[in-house]
Structure 1
């Protein structure tokens, strides 16, 4: 029978024939390393989306407001990140960070809106 080695630490693996790691700690360490690049990217995207949502909430406490794009940019808003978009029949594109959204208007203005749950 061939001796199997743990791909994380190199120690011998004992037990079931399909067992790959010597311990749960090695299995977790191996998988964490393998997924770290994806995890870091996802963490950064989620942090940006959350920040965008916080900014929209702060500037739009009443559910609908018109403001200038510069105000959002000064607070660190990133227009490249949003969770979904909605195009009206007129062709206007609303972009949303979860339930908080915005519509780009003329002359650098932005209409802030809140999508209400339809439960």
Structure 2
């Protein structure tokens, strides 16, 4: 029984352990196989980048207070962060890469930029 390419189904010639006709078929097969996982990662990275850009735009000086609604109206998604830092007094800073925020009272948010 002749082995067939895992991507296109054409008969294979050559090595006994060969699985694909050529590099294009190998790439197509692996891209299709990884599409679901890659799609999820792409969506999450897109949200994180957008969050970072919003924080960067609203915080040009490195530390500023804004209203919670300002972040929401800009499209900020509070469900996605890259890191969290808790201070000794229990305050929790959430970060999107080097830009972060601290939820305050009265619907205010303190925006910060992490120092190197």
Which TM-score tier does this pair reach, normalised by the shorter chain? over 0.9
The TM-score normalised by the length of structure 1 is 0.94
1-structure distance, mates of 2:52, 2:114: 12
User: Which consecutive residues of structure 1, in runs of 5 or more, have no partner in the other structure?
Assistant: none
2-structure distance, mates of 1:99, 1:31: 34
Deviations 1:32-52 (A, max 9, x none): 111111111111110100000
- Partner residue in 2 for 1:53: 52
- Partner residue in 1 for 2:29: 30
The TM-score normalised by the length of structure 2 is 0.96
Instruction: Show structure 1 runs of 4+ deviating over 2 A.
Output: none
1-structure distance, mates of 2:15, 2:106: 68
> What is the number of equivalent residue pairs in this alignment?
116
